[in-house]
């Protein structure tokens, strides 16, 4: 297969199955033979499917991200990197890459899904550029857009869009990150002057980790507790000027610090902000969801303070949607590089006296890369569904309260999985490429450092999954409002068992075993789509029902007792939420298969989907065994069937990563250029010629092997720790 390794993506060629016909993977069955029935992947069509609804915008963004002036320059100091990235923002403005989501009235296009799709691709150029752009237009600008009124739009959005007003999104505080409702900065209304007085009462209330705060930010959207007429109406957003645009000095009452060098994303000037009785006009309140009249009277179109709070934060859910897709893109970059390299790099004479093995022919190498490739496909399809849901809500096509809650829950479920997966994939791909993977020139280490914070910003992943878990519990409680949780638990377990065993083919597995005792046939039954769905769904339902039963009556207990009971089951809740998110990814992958018309592509993608589903079951095998969902004998079939899937997928590995559509200008990794193939071919030719010449030195092991075939070993001489063997040829 290595003869394909250095051809450009999308080039015409034979199918991977034909190219690898007859090859044997060490320790596994032979790869599928070429022939009329051998499936192949339509790379171009698959690439279009992966690009999704906003394919043209993604392509345009990738073209922009491929320009050298936007690429990360390794080795810069953090101050140099900051200056470079700020300059790159102006390139985005000049190319119209940041205006899509803003209102038509100020020069935008009200294109919300396409805007995020384009943003997700910027990680290819430099994650610092992507996140700095996200701070400016996805957070600061978006807050003015979605929380402000037309008056605010006309006043500030043109300058924000043009970068004349670089800004900050000042929500997080040193003492409160994910718990936004508890932030301590206050904005107290003074009716005598019709001003809000913004104040940070203690050090833990400083705004912290704020992008653009250290150097570039001239203004900020500041989140604070709105207090008027002695009543705290909760967290609201206020527009505030921070610095003199000429001198770049802080305005009176405002101060701050530089967060300094971070573990990654050092092209962004994160910093701290604090306010000492800073006065701002009443009209600087972004008042779409809450207004204060001149006399201090507070009004809101949303009566419930809790719902109002979540509605205001919900308008900013695009940050989580953006990170979800960006993490998938980073995983794709890593896998394309690692799998390309693995088809070229050779190591160890496992099955030949003369040729070393290609890394990707080793089963373990396939396991570590193909399972992550399958997860990346699943995460990508789920991300596209999330993006479409986001666009439906923000375009107004489906903007009910329930739609927004569904969007918030979906984003909270998928963002943790995709960001954790990206970090895991980057690390595994780094290790799979050995020392070459550790070189900054091949980007794994740099990308992983930059993406590390994706797991904790725009919502800490663990906290987000807890939010999902609470929604799952609420949904079950709503569905079974008149049924106590003990009954609910028994119902769900019974329902899942009935579905899994009686209606989806797992009873067929038992029958296969009873009839023939064939492990292979048992595995065939388990791999059935309906069986995978039943097993994955059953686990979610049962876990939620069990926690629901354990928490029965918690809301009737004194607060501290209820909190203690919840805390005792927090881990199970989060595990249930993660299982739910994994099921969503599996369902998204399965639904995507329905869009594939080419039979060969559909066959290969089905293998990849099965690999994803069965790997999830294998990873949680202890649960399925302890809960009686799989027998021990049936469980043993999983590993063998997964290994057979690896062999089937192996001939198509390059096709599957080529479908990502990355060119050299996107990968920018020396080991993905075909250079390794050139080196390996040179080495193989050198040793071939040496063998053919008859002048090759004799290996000591060969001499020892000849002892019984006419070869005499005259003796050995020992010098320190070295043993010299002298011999004559008989």
As annotated, the active-site residues are: 458
Burial class (CB in 10 A: 0-12, 13-18, 19+), 713: middle
Measure CA 438 to chain center.
21
CA 201 from centre of chain: 37
Residue 285 β-bridge partners? 238
For residue 537, the surrounding DSSP H or E stretch is helix 529-550
Contact 238, 180 (CB under 8 A): no
Contacts of residue 114, defined as CB under 8 A and 6 or more positions apart, other chains included, come to 54, 57, 100, 391
Q: How far is it, in rounded angstroms, from Cα 627 to Cα 638?
A: 17
Phi-psi region of 275 (alpha: psi -120 to 50; beta: other; left: phi over 0): beta
Q: Are 318 and 407 in contact (CB under 8 A)?
A: no
Asked whether the beta carbons of 583 and 544 are under 8 A apart, the reply is no
- Element containing residue 167 per DSSP (H, E): strand 167-170
**Three-state DSSP state, 685:** helix
* Residue 695, φ and ψ in degrees, nearest 5: -100, 5
Q: Do the Cβ atoms of 383 and 324 come closer than 8 Å?
A: yes
The span from the CA of 220 to the CA of 300, in Å, is 23
The backbone region for 574, taken as left when phi is positive above 0, alpha when psi lies in -120 to 50, beta otherwise, is alpha
- Separation in Å, CA 77 to CA 74, 83, 214, 261, 267: 9, 10, 15, 9, 9
* Cα distances (angstroms) measured from residue 660 to each of 46, 153, 380, 606: 8, 38, 10, 17
- At residue 483, the 3 state secondary structure works out as coil
Nearest CA-CA partner of 378 in 128, 587, 567: 587
Q: How far apart are CA 394 and CA 408, in angstroms?
A: 12
Among candidate residues 210, 93, 192, 102, the one with its CA nearest the CA of residue 152: 102
Do residues 605 and 596 make contact, with C-beta atoms less than 8 angstroms apart? Answer: yes
First and final C-alpha spacing in the chain: 42
The total of other beta-carbon atoms located within 10 Å of residue 187's CB is: 27
Q: Are 222 and 240 in contact (CB under 8 A)?
A: yes
CA-nearest of 189, 282, 279, 271 to 230 is 189
DSSP-assigned letters across all residues of 609-674: HHHHHHHHHHHTHHHHHHTTSS-HHHHHHHHHHHHHHHHHHGGGHHHHHHTT---HHHH--GGGTT
Buried b (16+ CB within 10 A) or exposed e, 474-505: eebbeebeeeebeebbeebbeebbebbbeebb
**Do 39 and 604 touch, CB atoms closer than 8 A?**
yes
């Amino acid at each position: 297969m290595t003869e394909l390794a250095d051809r450009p993506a999308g080039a015409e060629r034979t199918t991977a199955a034909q190219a690898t016909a007859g090859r044997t993977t060490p320790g596994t069955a032979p790869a599928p033979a070429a022939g009329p029935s051998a499936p192949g992947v339509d790379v171009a069509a698959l690439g279009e499917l992966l690009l999704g609804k906003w394919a043209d915008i993604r392509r345009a963004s990738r073209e922009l991200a491929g320009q050298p002036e936007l690429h990360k320059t390794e080795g810069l100091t953090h101050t140099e990197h900051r200056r470079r990235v700020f300059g790159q923002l102006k390139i985005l403005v000049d190319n119209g890459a940041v205006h899509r989501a803003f209102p038509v009235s100020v020069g935008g296009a009200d294109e919300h899904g396409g805007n995020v799709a384009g943003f997700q691709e910027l990680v290819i150029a430099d994650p610092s550029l992507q996140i700095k752009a996200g701070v400016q237009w996805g957070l600061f600008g978006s807050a003015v857009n979605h929380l402000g009124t037309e008056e605010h739009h006309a006043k500030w959005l043109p300058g924000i869009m043009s970068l004349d007003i670089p800004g900050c999104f000042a929500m997080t505080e040193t003492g409160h990150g994910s718990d936004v409702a508890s932030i301590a900065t206050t904005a107290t209304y003074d009716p005598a002057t019709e001003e809000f007085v913004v104040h940070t009462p203690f050090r833990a209330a400083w705004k912290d980790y704020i992008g653009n705060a250290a150097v570039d930010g001239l203004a900020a959207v500041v989140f604070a507790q709105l207090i008027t007429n002695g009543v705290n109406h909760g967290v609201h957003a206020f527009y505030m000027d921070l610095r003199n645009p000429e001198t770049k000095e802080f305005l009176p009452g405002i101060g701050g610090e530089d967060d300094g060098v971070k573990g990654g994303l050092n092209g962004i000037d994160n910093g701290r902000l604090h306010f000492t009785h800073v006065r701002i006009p009443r009209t600087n309140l972004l008042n779409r969801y809450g207004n204060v009249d001149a006399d201090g009277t507070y009004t809101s179109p949303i009566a419930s303070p809790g719902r109002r709070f979540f509605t205001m934060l919900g308008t900013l859910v695009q940050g989580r949607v953006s990170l979800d897709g960006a993490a998938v893109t980073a995983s794709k970059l890593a896998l394309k590089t690692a799998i390309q390299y693995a088809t070229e790099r050779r190591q160890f004479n496992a099955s030949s006296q003369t040729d070393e093995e290609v890394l990707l022919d080793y089963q373990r190498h396939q396991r570590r890369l193909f399972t992550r490739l399958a997860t990346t496909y699943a995460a990508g399809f789920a991300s596209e569904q999330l993006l479409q849901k986001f666009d439906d809500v923000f375009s107004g096509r489906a903007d009910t309260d329930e739609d927004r809650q569904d969007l918030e829950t979906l984003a909270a479920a998928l963002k943790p999985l995709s960001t954790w997966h990206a970090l895991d994939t980057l690390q595994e791909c780094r290790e799979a490429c050995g020392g070459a993977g550790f070189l900054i020139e091949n980007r794994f280490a740099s990308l992983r450092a930059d993406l590390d914070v994706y797991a904790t910003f725009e919502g800490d992943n663990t906290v987000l999954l807890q939010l999902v878990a609470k929604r799952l519990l609420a949904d079950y409680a709503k569905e079974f409002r008149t049924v106590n949780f003990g009954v609910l638990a028994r119902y769900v377990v019974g329902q899942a068992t009935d579905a899994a065993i009686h209606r989806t083919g797992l009873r067929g597995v038992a029958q296969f075993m009873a009839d023939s005792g064939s492990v292979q046939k048992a595995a065939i039954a388990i791999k059935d789509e309906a069986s995978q769905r039943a097993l994955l769904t059953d686990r979610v339902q049962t876990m939620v029902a069990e926690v629901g039963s354990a928490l029965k009556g918690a809301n009737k207990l004194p607060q501290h007792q209820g909190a203690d009971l919840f805390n005792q089951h927090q881990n199970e809740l989060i595990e249930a939420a993660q299982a739910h998110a994994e099921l969503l990814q599996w369902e998204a992958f399965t639904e995507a298969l329905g869009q594939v018309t080419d039979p060969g592509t559909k066959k290969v993608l089905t293998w990849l989907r099965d690999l994803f589903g069965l790997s999830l079951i294998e990873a949680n095998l202890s649960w399925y065994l302890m809960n009686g969902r799989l027998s021990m004998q049936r469980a043993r079939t999983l590993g063998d069937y997964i290994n057979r899937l690896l062999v089937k997928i192996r001939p198509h590995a390059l096709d599957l990563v080529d479908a990502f559509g990355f060119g050299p200008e996107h990968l920018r990794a020396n080991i993905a250029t075909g250079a390794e193939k050139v080196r390996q071919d040179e080495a193989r030719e050198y040793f071939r010629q040496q063998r053919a010449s008859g002048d090759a030195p004799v290996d000591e092991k060969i001499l020892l092997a000849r002892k019984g075939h006419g070869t005499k070993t005259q003796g050995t001489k020992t010098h320190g720790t070295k043993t010299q063997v002298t011999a004559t040829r008989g």
